[in-house]
Amino acid sequence: MRAVRCPAPGGPEAMVIQRLPLPAPAAGQVLIKVHVAGVNRPDISQRRGTYPVPPDANPTLGLEVAGTVEAVGDGLGLKPGQRVCSLVHGGGYADYAIAEADQIIALPDEIDFITAAALPEVAMTVEYNLVERAALKRHEWVLIHGGSSGIGSHAIQRAKAMGAKVAVTAGSDEKCAYCQTLGADVAINYRSVDFVEGISEATRGRGVDVVLDMVGGDYIDRNLKAMAADGRCAIISLQGGRKISADLEPLLRRRLTLVGSTLRPLSKAEKARIAKLVSHDVLPLVANNHIRSSVGKTFPLEKVEAAHRLLESGATMGKIVLTVV
C-alpha cells in the first residue's frame, strides 16, 4: 500500500510516498480502507520534527480517516464494508489504516466521506474542550479564535446549535464574512481591530463566558481581559507561542478558569468516550445539515506537499483533506 512518511524533519518536500506492507488489525482493532484523510496542524509539526509523537504511534502521517471497514480483529461487531470515520494513532495518509474499534464512528448514508474525514479531530476537540471542559451553555457568549479554520468552522456551528452567541476572530474581511455565513454573530478582523475592544463593544462591556483559543502566546493576557465573570478559557493549541506574560489580577477578581488539552496524549479509553459523545450528539447535527461540512479544499494523496503548503500559508478557509480512493 501507499503511505506518506517523512524520513527526516523538514519542509513539505521532506514527505515521500512509500510502499509498505498491508497492516493487520490486532484484537480490538479495525483495518480501514481509507477513502479520505484529514490534514491537521499536528501533521505539520510532526513533519517539522517539533511535535512529540508517542513512541507507540505509527510514523506514517495522518490522524483521522474516513472509509470502509476492510478487516476486524477478534470479537468485534463491525463488519467489512461498513462506512466509518475515526481518529487513528498515526497512519492516516495511506491506502489503509489501523484504528481502535471503540474509537470508530459509524457513518449514516447522509454523510459523505469528504465530510466525514474532517470530523474526528475537529468534532472530538470541540466536544471535549468547548462543550465539556469549558462547559458552554445556552445563551452564553463564546469567543472562537481562528474562526475560519477547520476547528473554528465546526466550533461556530456547534456553539450555535447549542443556542450560544458566537464571536470569532479571523485574519481578513473575507474570512470574517465566511464565519458569518456559518452563523457567527460577531466577526472581528484581528489585523484591523483589537479583539478585546471588539468583544467589549459586542457584549456591552460584559465580556464573553467562554474562549476557545488555538493561539496561546500573548492572546492569553488579552483573553483574560475579554472574559466575563466566571469565564472559562480552553486552550487547544499554541500557534502564537508557549510562553506568556499575563496580568493575573482578572483571574482572581473575576474568578476565571484556564484549561488546556490536546487529543493525542489522551488514553484510548478517554478517546473512545469522546468518540461516543460525537456519535450521539454531533453526528445527527451533521446528517441533518445543522452542522455543514467544514472542508474548504481537497487534494489527492499525491499532492500532499501542496496540501501542507496551503495549510501553512493560512490562506485556506475550513479544513483540508486528502482523497485517497
Beta-carbon neighbour count of residue 82 at 10 Å? 17
Average pLDDT over residues 146-168: 97
Whether the full predicted model's pTM is greater than 0.85, yes or no, is yes
pLDDT tens digit sequence for 269-309 = 999 999 999 999 999 999 999 999 989 999 999 999 999 99
> Counting Cβ atoms within 10 Å, is residue 243 exposed (0-12), middle (13-18) or buried (19+)?
exposed
Which pLDDT belongs to residue 204?
97
The confidence band for 74, taking pLDDT boundaries of 50, 70 and 90, is confident
**What does the alpha-carbon distance between residue 154 and residue 281 come to, in Å, rounded to a whole number?**
14
8 Å CB contact between 23 and 98: yes
Average pLDDT over residues 40-67: 93
Dmax (CA) for the chain in angstroms is: 60
pLDDT tens digit sequence for 86-102 = 999 999 999 999 999 99
HEC letters along 78-107: CCCCCEEEEECCCCCCECEEEEEHHHEEEC
Which pLDDT belongs to residue 264?
87
**What does the alpha-carbon distance between residue 325 and residue 315 come to, in Å, rounded to a whole number?**
26
**What does the alpha-carbon distance between residue 185 and residue 160 come to, in Å, rounded to a whole number?**
9
pLDDT tens digit sequence for 176-195 = 999 999 999 999 999 999 99
8 Å CB contact between 150 and 118: yes
